[in-house]
Amino acid sequence: MAIRTIREEGDEILRKKSREVEKVDEKILELIEDMFDTMHKYNGVRAFCCTGSEYLKE
């Protein structure tokens, strides 16, 4: 899949409010796979959320 950009403290996107996931569809499943790929590439991360990957869903 894809490696996502990890946003760090101080990045303005982390202050944005996420929308609730109403339906788990292919796009959400792809995001989840991307998050796992990103964590594996960086040997795990302490905290990882959708907002931190530029995707505003919670």
Q: Of 31, 23, 20, give the one whose Cα is nearest residue 54.
A: 31
Query: Does the predicted model carry a pTM greater than 0.75?
Result: no
pLDDT recorded at residue 46: 61
For residues 33, 21, 57, 42, the Cα torsion angle rounded to the nearest 10 degrees is -20
Domain boundaries, the chain: 12-53
pLDDT recorded at residue 23: 92
Q: pLDDT for 1-55, tens place per residue?
A: 788 888 888 888 888 888 888 899 999 899 889 888 988 888 876 656 655 555 5
pLDDT recorded at residue 29: 92
pLDDT recorded at residue 6: 82
